[in-house]
Amino acid sequence: MSPEKHLVHVAGSALTHSCHACAFFHSKEEAYRVLLPFVMEGFEHGDRAFHIVGPHQRAAHLERLAQEGIDTVAAQETGQLEVRTWDETYLKDGHFDQYRMIDTLLAMLAPGKTPPGRISRNVANMAWATEDRPGVHDVVEYEARLGQALPERHDPVICTYDLSRFDAGVVVDIIRTHPMVIIGGILQENPFYVPPEQMLKEIEARKAQGDGRRACA
C-alpha cells in the first residue's frame, strides 16, 4: 500500500513526509486526547501498535485502550499490539544505552513485524529520561541518532514529553532533533529542526568543551 493510500493522521493533520515526531503535553489526559485518534486510526487500518509506557502504567494503558473499544487481549495475542515498559526497553538492566535502544526500536520496525501493506505506529513515553539512572542524560543525542537511523519507511515514531518534567533547555534541544512537532495539540513542521549530522557535531563540541572545563578545574 502506498503512502498516498495510507495517510497517517495525528493531532488533526497528516504525517506526509516524516516518521519522527516529538509531542509535548501538560498532562496524561491531554496526551491521550491528542494521540488516541492516531492509535484508533491505526487499528482501523490493521496497522501494528508498539507503545512504551512507565513501569507502573502498563495495566492502566491497556485499560484505556480497552475503553476505546480495542480488544487488547486479542490484539496482543495476534501481535497487532505490543506494550512494553521503560524497564524492558530504555532502562533495561537499570541504565540507558542509546545504541542498544536504537537497535531495539529498529528491530521492532523490521518489515517482518507488520503485515504487507501495513505500518507500525509507535508511541514512546520519554519521562524515563528524568529518572536517576546512568545514561539518561544522553536523551538528546539518542533522539538525534534515532532520526539518523530510522529506515526510509512510513512507520511513525512519536516521542512524548511531559512539559512539567523537563527543563526548558532540554525541551529546546529535543525540539531541534525532530522534523515534526506536536505542541498545543497541533502537528506542525518544525522550523527549528537541525539535521542529525549537524546536531551530533554540536553535541560532540559541547562534550569537548565540558571535558576541557573539567580538566582546567
- Span 55-65, pLDDT tens digits: 999 999 999 99
Beta strand extents in 77-179 (DSSP E only):
81-85, 120-125, 157-162
DSSP for 94-111, written as a single string: GS--HHHHHHHHHHHTSG
Secondary structure element (H or E) that encloses residue 32, with its range: helix 28-45
Question: In 3-state terms, what secondary structure has residue 91?
Answer: coil
- Span 65-115, pLDDT tens digits: 999 999 999 999 999 999 999 999 999 999 999 999 999 999 888 777 777
Q: What pLDDT is stored for residue 4 in this prediction? A: 44
Percentage of residues in the chain with pLDDT exceeding 70?
91
CB 127 within 8 A of CB 165: yes
pTM over 0.85: yes
Annotated domain spans of the chain: 19-216
Looking up cell 544522553 gives 138
Looking up cell 487499528 gives 43
CB 58 within 8 A of CB 85: yes
Q: What pLDDT is stored for residue 180 in this prediction? A: 93
Q: Which CATH architecture has domain 19-216?
A: 3-Layer(aba) Sandwich (3.40)
Q: What pLDDT is stored for residue 2 in this prediction? A: 44
- Residue by residue, what is the 3-state secondary structure of 177-204? CCCEEEECCEEEECCCCCCHHHHHHHHH
Q: What pLDDT is stored for residue 207 in this prediction? A: 86
Segments in the chain below pLDDT 50: 1-4, 212-217
